Amino acid sequence: MSFDPYIHFQGNCRDAMTAYQAVFGGTLDMMPYSAAPEWPDGTPDAMRRSDRIMHSTLRLPDGRSLMASDFPPGMGGDPQQAVSISHEAASMARAQEVFATLADGGAVILPMSPTFWSDGFGMVKDRFGTHWMISAPWRG
């Protein structure tokens, strides 16, 4: 069994997922609300015509996925509150690269440094509001 994160945004899902694809690679599929094949009666026109993202999937080469959407138009919500995405990079150099890229325009919560479980671990909140925990492998 595995779990793949599904995160939510307030109108900037397209930008965030495109940025995450640039960092992690993989194949990105996105569907705006306006591309839905049908809607129940009573669905507001603002939702039916919205270019906000209804669903997106970033499929990574290792078989894992990061999924996301925008909240529907006019719907409140706090994107990525009290949730962190954990990523273990293949090497310390790659962990530092990913950490620096995600930190650009965001905020470093915990600088990348050695720990008792990893050669490098750091926490960052990226410019889209997503919290990340980036680890390098433990080489002991």
Same domain, 69 and 86: no
Contact 136, 121 (CB under 8 A): yes
Same domain, 70 and 1: yes
Which structural domain, as residue segments, surrounds residue 126? 80-140
Contact 79, 12 (CB under 8 A): no
Same domain, 105 and 50: no
Q: What is the pLDDT of residues 75-129, one digit of tens each?
A: 888 878 888 999 999 999 999 999 999 999 999 999 999 999 999 999 999 999 9
Same domain, 128 and 106: yes
Average pLDDT over residues 1-23: 93
Residue 117 DSSP one-character state: S
- Between CA 16 and CA 6 the distance in angstroms is 13
* CATH number, domain with residue 126: 3.10.180.10
Q: What is the pLDDT of residues 45-81, one digit of tens each?
A: 877 788 999 999 999 998 999 999 999 888 888 878 8
Same domain, 59 and 94: no
Split into its structural domains, the chain has a count of 2
To the nearest 10 degrees (0 to 180), the angle between helices 13-24 and 92-103 is 160
Contact 136, 89 (CB under 8 A): yes
- Between CA 68 and CA 57 the distance in angstroms is 7
Residue 38: band (very low, low, confident or very high) from pLDDT cuts 50, 70, 90: confident
